[in-house]
Structure 1
Amino acid sequence: MILLDEPTERVCAAILSGELRPVRLAVVAPGGYGKTAVLEHLAPASGVRLVDDAHLLGEADLAELVRYLDDEQAGLVIAARPHPRPAALNQVLGRLRGQIVLRPFDLARTEAYLRATGSGLPAEAVLTQTGGVPGLVRAVADLAALCHELDQAGAEVLCFLLAAEAGAGPDLAGGAAEAAHATGLLAADGTLLPIAARALRELIPRDRQIAVRRRLVEQQLERGGPLLRLVLPLAETGLTGAVMAKAFESAAGEAGADPALAAKLHEAAVRAGRPVTARWAEALARAGDFDSSLRLADQVLSTEHAPDRAEAARVAGAVLALRGQLARSAELFQWSGSGNSRCFALIGLVGTGRLAEAGRIAEKCTVDGPPTLLSSAVSATGRGILESVSGQPAVALSTLVHAAETLAPVSSGVLLPDSPAALGALVALHSGEAAIAEPLLDRAIEAGSLAARHRLLLAWIAMLRGDEETAEARLREAGDDLSPRDWLFSVGLRVGLARRASDLAALRRIWTQAREVVVRHPVDLFTFLPFGEFEVAAARLGERDRLAPHLRQARQLLAALGDPPLWASALHWSGLHAAILDEQPAEAAEHAGALTAAAGTGPYFAALAKAAECWLKVLGGDVDPEAVESAARGLHAVGLCWDGARLAGQAAIRTSDRKAMVVLLDCARVLQGREPSTAPGPVRLSDRERQVAELVLAGLTYKQIGDRLFISAKTVEHHMARMRQRLGATSRGELLAELRAELRPAHGTT
């Protein structure tokens, strides 16, 4: 069938009616535009000679047409492609008086064609696939209709079409552009139409495709053009030789934003004849395949004359840091010897307590070559970490923030053992500056570097603030495919969230993973947050002995660094709470003393010291409501919101002064982000709930209460859960304190 646009339809109608004569017209259009269909449509016209595919006629036939046109009354409609255009054809066309213009289908004609042929395909999709070329619209239903076109395409045209598919540029395939456009398989802008790309993939024999693509790759190598899209279809073909090996390796460099693809291309380069390189190991590391990366990096390191041994050491050092092996990582970075590697070594040496070595290497921690964003950021990160143990926390944090901002624009394509954003966030968390850490981490995530690590640290900030919902969401966003170091923080978060929810069952479940991760991950300076959580949880579960060797190692590390307050205070804070849970007052006092000694370091450390002193007094039965509230609000102000609420809540439980209890419970509610209590106690509990509450406070078990009230123990548990929800208590101890406050008039003092 033929569907002509209105102007072409009018011309054809005039020819068929004899209104237009003598007819001397050309139909020049690429393949698939319907030239043959137009000639068949005009077949009934009298006195008109119809000639198809004139571009294929020989000189004799074209000369005969010229003679035919000597008769001024002779009618002729001649159809041809725009290429090839022999001189004799130009002579013929020059004797004609006009042209029938064939245009691609628009949406309306595409819909009309699909309706007429009974096709259920969506017209918009067909138009996108075919550009409206009528022959291609027909081929959507039967791709084999394009076999003839591709079979007739010469090697140069096929080369051009494959180059167009790969986006390699119109000049790559020589002078075949006109012939390729004449096929009708290209859009007006020279891009290959989607249906044509599909036809190339499915209809051209595989060996012919490979041969043409190889030829294109060779040409592109010579001219220094991009290779990625050209070589991608060849990566699994097993092609060998120096040319293909070089092409695969060059394409891997272009695929830096997709490390898994880069690793695949490096592997193809090695199969083609290139030696194993550090760049392959780096691509694997960035793709998360640490085992393979270390194996290849070690292979390069073991090859005496390999030109990239230093790079292999850098890659292995980064991977070992991601796996939590900071000491071995620092050794490899030192051996690597570049300015960046020395700075990374400095970070590892400080992180493992080797301060003297770090000081010596700091003198060599200079930028090699031009001061690029990467080298400047890495150098600043090394200085910042050194300042964190030997200077003021605020100075260290400022240096690391500047380093993170410098690195952000280039961080996504770099293999880093750690990021200045993450290290800066750790310094911020250890000094009560979470508000500085959050935008730092958010920007690092946007830049695409170490996203899981940065999300886990954001989750940690949310957990410390008591925002468990956000913490859990951030934890989920980090995913499960984590490096060993990230797994350590992930487990630490789960332990911390279970502890804060007073969910002993969940804490016992996650503790199995905690024990495993503690065994597998050595303690270093940058892991004190999760190890601190593990210490408190171990005390809660009666398993402090299991963690003792690791905590001893942490305190030895701190001693080797001179007990810097920035890092030591966090461990003393968790040690204080572990000692409290383990009922070790002397140990708790020791930790409180260490926190007091560091109080002059800054507001955060002063808040910890004040809160620690309060805790000890509360445990001794000395509850000063004003002092407790002040200490609790101080913790809240430095980002330890949950700790502040807990201090107020625990003090409320332990005081016998009802007024103080109410004040402290209200303080705990406010610090948790909830409204203080305003309603009188008796109104908030039903009669049955008050009966249950009184018996619970009297020390009866759920079963005993059930027997007395003629209800089941499960119903008693249900009443308790409802009361806990209604009163907003976050733990059993807090619920009991709330119930005492509610029932005090009737229950007396206990």
Structure 2
Amino acid sequence: MSRSMTSRPTPVPDSSAAGLRSVVAADPAAPIVAGIQGAGGCGKTTLLERLSRIYRDAGVPVLDVHSLDRAAEGAVLVDDAHRLDDEVLAELRATARKPGVRLVVAYRPGPRSAALAELIGDLGAPVLLSGLAPDEVAELAGRTLGAVPPPEWVGWLCEQTGGVPLFVARVLAATEPGELAPRLPDRALDRFQHDLDLLGDAARDCVTAMAVGATPHPQLIGALLDLDAATVASALEAVRAGGLVDADDGLLPVVRAAVLRLTPWERRLRVVRRLVETQLARGGPVLPLVRPLLGAEIALLPEATLATAFERAGDEALPQAPELARQLFDAAVSAGTPATAVAARRARAAAESGDLDEALRLADRMIVDETVPDRELGVQVAATVLAHRGLLARSAELCRWSAEHLRWPGDRAYAAVGLIGTGRLAEADELLHSPADAGPPTSMSGAAVQLAEGVRESVTGSATTALSTLVRSASLSEPVGRDALVPETPAAAAALVALHCGELDVAQSTLDRALDSGAGGPLLRARHQLLAAWLPLVRGDTVTARAKLAEAGESAARDRLLATALQAGIASRDNDMAALTVSRGLARQAAAEHPVDLFTLLPLGEFVVAAARLRDLDWIAPYLKEARELLERLGNPPLWKAPLSWKCLQAAVVLEELDVARRHASDLEAVADHNPLAAALADGARTWLRILSGQVAQDEAEQAARALHSAGLAWDGARLAGQAAIRTTDRRAMLGLLECARALQGKPPRPRAVGDGADVLSEREKEVAELVLAGLTYKQVGKRLFISAKTVEHHIGRIKQRLGCANREDLLARLRELLNG
């Protein structure tokens, strides 16, 4: 039957809830036929209640399905039409066709019977309800809690609930306004019991399976639950209609948490066991399935399937989450796995999570117990931990023993690296040229061999060849580097060699790639970060060095040594004597913990300069003696000797010990031809000797300073130019050298003439002001101007008075302004 033109229902603008409310409010007497479609919790009932209030306020009776015979008298509002039987749905369809009727029907998207589908066809395009947008959630939260919560908490709430209004409301109702935390309250989860009860047994089992990790695929879940595919498909449709899943059919986090909380353990365990068996049989991941069982009493009971699953999950977690892997291996033992079966992997997990004492304890047990499987992994763990704790000689011995009795990729090569690092080159050569089987030629063993060759070349040959070999080793190890537990990474060795020969860009790119690829796993990450912090330190960028140091961790002696040396180096370059004094105690502790080896010469050099500035060289002398003896055993390799000799020369400069400086300058002259950095250091050393002797030549000093800057030592170059400026008696040369120092520090040139305040200060006061701004002490200013320090102090007092400065900080700021500095 066709409707008359005068009683045609009013269309709903935009098919939206707001449009439907506005149509009804504009004319409650007007005919309207509309459907409201939305999953469970999306607000169908709430919308119907608002429409009901509008009608009642207008004096229109509100009717339901029990009063269809009176449809002409009022507005018929029907909720949950998907639950009605076919007979009632047929009556609703007949009502929808009557002229002048006011009918609004709400229903879920599915499953739907044929009768409901026919009714929906007559209702026309539905008003679609979905989740709330973040701004709507924030508004609702503000009304409920009395204040708008932080955006990050609103974002978390949207993620947990999918924006489903009912679920959002449940969490808000159970949340205390003053205790906003990213945690779902138990009271909110308990409210889902009714939703789960309405699903029916099949759908409830499906939801349980999905909550413990099953993919929502009808055939997979059907096999898991012994249900036919049609039953599962229907159940999944009901789950979707209930608003319990997202667009990808994954359970909303709040629903998953509720299911896990409200489902009895035995029911969950039955599903988990079946799912684990399926995954184990097909080689699929089991970590997501068994991780929720950690800490539960049921996980402590002997259970063969769970024991196997925990062990497999531990292997899956080990590369990315070693601490979690430890817990899983422990759970496997509790569930029945023999402790010896996972001992090596437990040791590795302990090492990579930073518990080096436990790792070494477990590894030592395995090394002496020939019945333990994976003994070679235990040896690898022990060798790595020993190196990380600074015991490179012991690590090398263990690797050498392993090469003769057990094999793991690279054991012989790492033994050679350790032997070279502790000054035993002949033994390393004998090991490297041994005709014994070197093991399978894997990427890791190949990278280890190149690592050993590169370290050897750095001691016996060309810096360029050594660095190239080590960079290739780092590149070869990258694809499997994250899974490798090794005493040293090729990237770290390459960075050290690059720092010793002035190739800072190579060091930077190599370390960046190592950090991106996770080379060496979690245990070696801090080493790469600390070496990366060393690069800005060398360049004089203490702000960046300090920031990078703050990002890096330190888990053992080797890391602490680097970190403490960085602290001392930053304090020294910043001229922060208070921080330098604090670092002294830390440096003495770090040096005592870590025996001197080839790879500790950089931090040792920073300690030497710091000790000189504090006039406390006695404590560092024994370590310097060990370093010299180590270098002598290796034939005094230029690449490794030059930077330490340079630092010792800098210490002599600080103490103004000309004879000591000459000795170190002679050492640098002897290795000047080895690489560009060594040449720049030798030139710088010659210049420093002349500066200390009071023979400052501007051109020579600038050339030496720029050469140091070009070799990567920007701070050293600027310091040389600055000190030359302080020590020259030629005012023109002084100003030129000061500008050179500023340029090497990356600062813009500074006009020398006093600006608007020129008529305020005398010529002598201008000279004093410029030298004070350059950083000279009163004594140094007096020496340059051939006046006493007391006279300089009087000049400063008069300048302060004339410029109206209350303190020294005001004075320096005003002088910089006048000098345009």
Q: What TM-score does the superposition give when structure 2 sets the normalisation length?
A: 0.72
User: In 2, Cα distance between the equivalents of 1:513 and 1:124?
Assistant: 44
In the TM superposition, residue 524 of structure 1 has moved relative to its aligned partner by 1.0
- Contact 1:159-1:213 at 8 Å conserved across structures: no
Structure 2: which amino acid aligns with 1:263? R
| 8 Å CA contact 1:235, 1:248 repeated in 2 | no
Which residue matches 2:543?
Answer: 469
Contact 1:434–1:639 (CA under 8 A) maintained in structure 2: yes
1:285–1:415 contact (8 Å) kept in structure 2:
no
- Give the aligned partner of residue 486 of structure 2: 416
Counterparts of 1:358 and 1:205, CA distance in 2: 62
Matched, 1:615 2:694: no
Measured in 1, the distance between the counterparts of 2:83 and 2:451 equals: 71
Deviation at 1:394, TM superposition (A): 0.2
Deviation at residue 555 of structure 1 after TM alignment: 1.2
Structure 1: which amino acid aligns with 2:306? M
Mapped to 2, the partners of 1:545 and 1:316 lie a distance apart of 35
Q: 1:362: how far off?
A: 1.9
Which of 429, 442, 451 does residue 371 from structure 1 map onto?
Answer: 442
Q: Which position in structure 1 is the counterpart of 2:6?
A: none
**Hey, what does 2:55 align to over in structure 1?**
none
Counterpart in 2 of 1:23? none
* 2:42–2:130 CA contact under 8 A, matched in 1: no
**Which AA in structure 1 matches 2:255?**
A
Change over 3 Å in CA distance of 1:323–1:130 after alignment to 2? closer
The alignment status of 1:544 with 2:617, answered yes or no, reads yes
Displacement of 1:112 = 11
- Counterparts in 2 of 1:706 and 1:417: CA distance versus 1, 3 Å: same
- The runs of 5 or more residues in structure 1 that have no matched partner are 21-25, 729-737, 739-750
In structure 2, the residue matched to 1:516 is 589
Structure-1 residue corresponding to 2:354: 288
Conserved 8 A contact 2:15-2:126: no
Q: Partner residue of 1:41?
A: 64
Q: Number of residues paired by the alignment?
A: 703
Residues 277-297 of structure 1, C-alpha deviations (whole Å, 9 max, x = no match):
222222222222222222222
Partner residue, 2:329: 266
The reply on whether 1:231 has 2:290 as its aligned counterpart is yes
Equivalent in 642, 661, 673 of residue 569 of structure 1 = 642
How far has the Cα of 1:569 moved from its partner? 0.9
* 2:418 aligned partner: 348
- Hey, what does 1:333 align to over in structure 2? 399
Structure 2 residue 206 is matched with structure 1 residue 160: yes
Q: Which moved more, 1:183-192 or 1:520-529?
A: 183-192
| Distance change in 2, residues 1:154/1:380 (3 Å) | farther
Q: Indicate conservation of the 8 Å contact 1:180/1:186, yes or no.
A: no
Q: Give the C-alpha shift of residue 397 in structure 1.
A: 0.6
Please list the CA deviations of residues 161-208 of structure 1 after superposition, one character each: whole Å capped at 9, or x if unmatched.
233234432354323453243243344643213342132133234554
Question: What is the match of residue 746 of structure 1?
Answer: none
1:345 is displaced (CA, Å) by 2.0
Task: Give the structure 2 partner of residue 487 of structure 1.
Answer: 560
**Which AA in structure 2 matches 1:620?**
S
Q: Deviations over 1:446-465 (max 9, x none)?
A: 22344432332233222222
Structure 1 residue 635 corresponds to structure 2 residue 708: yes
Q: Hey, what does 1:390 align to over in structure 2?
A: 460
Output the CA distance in 1 between the equivalents of 2:166 and 2:809.
Answer: 76
Structure 2: any 5+ residue segments left out of the alignment?
Answer: 1-11, 49-61, 72-77, 97-104, 149-153, 174-187, 773-777
Matched, 1:106 2:106: no
Q: Does 1:147 align with 2:210?
A: no
Q: Which residue of 2 aligns with 1:254?
A: 316
Report the Cα offset of residue 388 of structure 1. 0.9
Change in CA separation of 1:313 and 1:96 when aligned onto 2, cut-off 3 Å: same
1:47-126 equivalences in 2 (<5 Å):
105-106=129-130, 120=144
In 1, the alpha carbon distance for the partners of 2:455 and 2:417 equals 6
Distance 1:530 1:112 in 2: 57
3-state secondary structure, aligned to 2:295 = coil
Question: Taking structure 1 as reference, are residues 111 and 356 closer, same or farther at Cα in structure 2, changes over 3 Å only?
Answer: closer
Q: Please name the residue that 2:380 is paired with.
A: 314
Q: Which residue number corresponds to residue 4 of structure 2? A: none
In the TM superposition, residue 126 of structure 1 has moved relative to its aligned partner by 8.2
Name the stretch that deviates more: 224-233 or 33-42.
33-42
Question: What TM-score, normalized by structure 1, do the two folds share?
Answer: 0.79
Could you tell me how far 1:430 is from its partner in structure 2? Answer: 0.6
SS at 2:281's partner residue? helix
Following superposition of structure 1 onto structure 2, how do residues 639-718 of structure 1 map, counting pairs within 5 Å? 639-680=712-753, 683=758, 686=761, 690=768, 698-700=787-789, 718=807
Q: Distance in 2 between matches of 1:703 and 1:656?
A: 16
**Match status 1:460 vs 2:534:** yes
Deviations 1:558-613 (A, max 9, x none): 11111111101112112222234445444332222221111111222111112212
Cα deviations by residue, 1:664-716 (Å, 9 ceiling, x for unpaired): 3333232222344542479499568859969965444699869998999xx99
Distance change in 2, residues 1:352/1:53 (3 Å): same
Q: What amino acid sits opposite 2:210 in the alignment?
A: A
> 2:335 is aligned with what amino acid?
A
Question: Using the alignment, how far apart are the partners of 1:74 and 1:723 within structure 2?
Answer: 90
Residue 707 of structure 2 aligns with an amino acid whose one-letter code is: G
Quote how far apart the aligned CAs of 1:368 are. 3.9
CA distance in 2, matches of 1:213, 1:299: 35
Identity percentage over the alignment?
43
More divergent stretch after superposition (603-612 vs 235-244): 235-244
Q: Is the 8 A contact 1:339 1:366 kept in 2?
A: no
Distance change in 2, residues 1:727/1:52 (3 Å): closer
Partner SS state of residue 66, structure 2:
coil
Equivalent residue of 1:297, what SS? Answer: helix
Q: 1:97 to 1:680 in 2, by over 3 A?
A: closer
Instruction: Return the letter of the residue paired with 1:464.
Output: V
Q: Which deviates further from its counterpart, 503-512 or 118-127? A: 118-127
| Distance (Å, rounded) in 2 between the aligned partners of 1:700 and 1:116 | 72
Structure 1 residues 93 and 653, CA gap change in structure 2 (3 angstroms): closer
1:594 to 642, 667, 672: 667
Give SS of 2:289's match.
helix
Q: CA deviation at 1:129?
A: 5.6
- Does structure 1 conserve the Cα–Cα contact (< 8 Å) formed by 2:805 and 2:811? no
CA contact (8 A) 1:81 1:182 kept: no
Instruction: Say whether the 8 Å CA contact 1:83–1:179 is kept in structure 2.
Output: no
Instruction: Please tell me whether residue 303 in structure 1 is matched to residue 362 in structure 2.
Output: no
Structure 1 residue 173 corresponds to structure 2 residue 221: yes
Q: Which moved more, 1:652-661 or 1:603-612?
A: 652-661
Matches within 5 A, 1:496-535: 496-535=569-608
Instruction: Report the CA distance shift for 1:133/1:426 in structure 2 as closer, same or farther (over 3 A).
Output: closer
Please give the alpha-carbon distance, in whole angstroms, between the structure 1 residues aligned to 2:735 and 2:446.
55
Q: Which secondary structure does the structure 2 equivalent of 1:491 belong to?
A: helix
Question: Does the 8 Å contact 1:404/1:440 carry over to 2?
Answer: yes
Q: Which deviates the most, 513-522 or 678-687?
A: 678-687
Aligned-partner residue type, residue 173 of structure 1:
I
1:406 aligns with 2:468: no
> Once the 2 structures are TM-superposed, how far is the Cα of residue 503 of structure 1 from its aligned partner?
2.9
Task: Give the alignment partner of residue 198 of structure 1, picking from 233, 246, 257.
Answer: 257
One-letter identity of the residue aligned with 2:67: P
Measured in 2, the distance between the counterparts of 1:703 and 1:650 equals: 20
Say whether residues 1:603 and 2:654 are aligned partners.
no
- Aligned amino acid, residue 588 of structure 1: A
Query: How far off is 1:538 after superposition?
Result: 1.8
- Structure 2 residue matching 1:257: 3-state secondary structure: coil
